[in-house]
Structure 1
């Protein structure tokens, strides 16, 4: 019977590698010391295999990616350190068991081989999210095979369940295994962050590390998705998979360090595995998720409820539902542009709208745009019936756009914007997570329109009545 020896949260800033940092790495010495502590701990355990889950490998929206190349190799050449190069043997025996256990649970898996790499034009090199942690590990211990996994944008509960598949695969093997959750914390931690700043970055980092130190799994999986998104992290999903791998074990958790001098949070933690009791949290996590969705459904106002029922009706019958009776009077008598947004597990799932009204009334506008958000947003596949139970809706009713003479007239929390140049236009709704300045708002709208910032474009503003 195989055994999971321990798990670790390890950050992956390339600058921490001396050949890249060239002295700058000394500014994160606490993290270096912690990574060396972790690596010494791994050396003592002498694992046969190390599993790394990374946010910078082959990340798909709808599947977890498991690399099946016989040899796994890569370097830090893109960061000016091509000499930092590694090659590992892939533990294909354990990979096969992980894939088998995942498919038993209906977890979507993408096996990245030569054919898939060619189809999606994927690089065959290891990413820095894998190389940087292993740079420190191999300074202490190198006699291991590697399993390389990239998380997908699945729900936290699904990622946790994928972790339970990894745990079961390990127990069904004859391997001694160490698990590394590669990931940085908030990328907006301080005002000098290159990704912008939000005070919620520090809130996220502290909350996650505190919850991890106490192994409050339910609270971690159920963390506010808006906070996670605004923090602009890249390690949370790696943590979800790791917690799933630890499902059923007694665990002693310890946060070794946290710092962020470059505006990105670097947290290091270790999770010592004790007795396996087999008591799983998975069913409870799914039940808590259903309860959260049901609470949202019960709080829907008529605008949001109509959007939801419109999409559900179309998915079932493939035709638009008639305007129902019993709506507020203004939904029958008023006309306005309407945007309907769909979110699933904290991620955008579709958003379509009209700037000026196209239908007889607001109710018809909502019905049409809800269907369009689920079926006509070119960024996403069509919504499927199995997804409906997890989708959250918001409806924005727009005021008529007004021309803007000066950017001083704008406020990204109050006003949405429309930029225009000839036939090109781009719209951004107001009060969006992570859009805190007029400059950010205009920049995003310009990118959506395909307009260069140095072109002569016009700006309009509008307000919304938001229902969510």
Structure 2
């Protein structure tokens, strides 16, 4: 007997709901109609439980959250409409078994209730990432319990394996379920959208939907990291879990609608799991090993040296000394250097120097890479087995020059503010820092300088090197 009856990707714009949109929803009527079509289909399937995967619940950095109380409620009062409300019984038996299977599989999960969330000043409730898709189901059918999942930034492989465990749980319990991956696509499709326009937004949406339509898991997991980051989307991680639940067979996606009217991509898609045996998991494991090897064997010499220095440190317990074989640009030049470590897209460590403290850029990279891994006070020490999941970038700081406010540009220049012995630095092109005032304010805050004080300003350019570029 087939336990998973349907697989769906649905967006979650509150404006698509008439009570919120007040007529504006007619501008995305294809999205409305496609979501309604899925609602009707689910009503005909009559699942016992709906698993909803959302980016907007209580999210933990180190565990996938499984909401777990007898009931869960929520409404759209944050969007001006408290009359759109929901109250569901939760499938706690499913939650318990899912959590147990994940723990045995080494996937970090946490069952989350009111008491735990209260410690984080967070209310146990349905978020709009769940409410909007379920609104279209409830128009036609409401005889179901829910499993409410908020993904974590544990990496695509762990999310995929979590999806596999959804299937195992459904099969173990003999539970008839459907899975809805809630997520919007790029938020950067238009200047008047929620974020400034980026050409990466349209590229991401087109590739993402094409790969899903074709059931091309390899390409989906191998998308350009810069494009994914620049697209400002919230659907990819939900989909990693969704397609993990289809592991073992091929699949195809049927795109019901796509619209970007308000500057955000809304994709509605349903999936059919095929009959052909196809293990994407083995392919993904192979791809991961190839990516790790590529990081060491190729790429620019700056990030390659940073990575090699970390492997050397963990193998030998000290810094690399022999750097005679490095390119001249790393041996002959002296600059300040920042080394940043990101794990699954989130910062894992960053240490740098404003001015050179060693005899070469190469030595500066080696020193700061180890410092970023071991001594960034914001994070726990990086462990050796994390290195394959970490991406490295190296920023080489050109010489700073005095500047006025009018000469600054936060996208092009970094800034240094100085008042006596107090000094603060901010690198250029940081997400969320769009104005000179914001840049200076953050730099001053780092230095303990009041915004209203007189302070010296310097600007500098940065040459940024990323792995894979």
**TM-score after normalising by structure 1:** 0.90
1:220-369 to structure 2, matched below 5 A, reads 220-273=220-273, 275=275, 279-315=278-314, 319-322=318-321, 324-328=323-327, 331-332=330-331, 334-369=333-368
Quote the offset at 1:361 in angstroms: 3.8
> Are the equivalent residues in 1 in contact too, given 2:334–2:360 (CA < 8 A)?
yes
Quote the offset at 1:116 in angstroms: 2.5
> Are the equivalent residues in 1 in contact too, given 2:73–2:87 (CA < 8 A)?
yes
Query: Could you report, residue by residue, the CA deviation over 1:355-397 in whole angstroms, capped at 9, with x for unpaired residues?
Result: 1123344343222211221133344332112101232323222
Stretches of structure 2 lacking an aligned partner (at least 5 in a row): none
> Are the equivalent residues in 2 in contact too, given 1:163–1:242 (CA < 8 A)?
yes
1:40-189 to structure 2, matched below 5 A, reads 40-189=40-189
> Are the equivalent residues in 1 in contact too, given 2:160–2:243 (CA < 8 A)?
yes
Query: Could you report, residue by residue, the CA deviation over 1:139-196 in whole angstroms, capped at 9, with x for unpaired residues?
Result: 1110000000001012112211111111111111111100000000000111211211
Quote the offset at 1:248 in angstroms: 1.9
Quote the offset at 1:73 in angstroms: 1.1
Quote the offset at 1:98 in angstroms: 1.5
Stretches of structure 1 lacking an aligned partner (at least 5 in a row): none
Is residue 462 of structure 1 aligned with residue 460 of structure 2?
yes
- Select 2:416's aligned residue among 415, 418, 430: 418
Q: Distance in 2 between matches of 1:269 and 1:259?
A: 12
Quote the offset at 1:112 in angstroms: 1.0
Quote the offset at 1:328 in angstroms: 4.1
Quote the offset at 1:445 in angstroms: 5.8
Q: Which position in structure 2 is the counterpart of 1:387? A: 386
- Select 1:446's aligned residue among 416, 432, 441: 441
Query: Could you report, residue by residue, the CA deviation over 1:305-331 in whole angstroms, capped at 9, with x for unpaired residues?
Result: 332233334445654444544334564
Q: Distance in 1 between matches of 2:173 and 2:300?
A: 52
Quote the offset at 1:463 in angstroms: 2.2
> Are the equivalent residues in 2 in contact too, given 1:428–1:445 (CA < 8 A)?
no
- Name segments (4+ residues, structure 1) moved above 6 Å: 451-457
SS of structure 2 residue aligned to 1:463? strand
Query: Could you report, residue by residue, the CA deviation over 1:318-351 in whole angstroms, capped at 9, with x for unpaired residues?
Result: 5444454433456455432111122333443322
Q: Which moved more, 1:371-380 or 1:231-240?
A: 371-380
Quote the offset at 1:419 in angstroms: 4.7
Q: Distance in 1 between matches of 2:296 and 2:441?
A: 35
**TM-score after normalising by structure 2:** 0.90
419 and 12 in structure 1: CA distance in 2 versus 1, 3 angstrom threshold: farther
> Are the equivalent residues in 1 in contact too, given 2:426–2:442 (CA < 8 A)?
no
Q: Which moved more, 1:176-185 or 1:220-229?
A: 220-229
Q: Distance in 1 between matches of 2:327 and 2:273?
A: 57
Q: Distance in 2 between matches of 1:259 and 1:332?
A: 52
Q: Distance in 1 between matches of 2:50 and 2:414?
A: 48
453 and 145 in structure 1: CA distance in 2 versus 1, 3 angstrom threshold: farther
Query: Could you report, residue by residue, the CA deviation over 1:112-148 in whole angstroms, capped at 9, with x for unpaired residues?
Result: 1344223333321111101111111111110000000
Task: Give me the CA root mean square deviation.
Answer: 2.6
SS of structure 2 residue aligned to 1:181? strand
1:187-202 to structure 2, matched below 5 A, reads 187-202=187-202
Is residue 400 of structure 1 aligned with residue 399 of structure 2?
yes
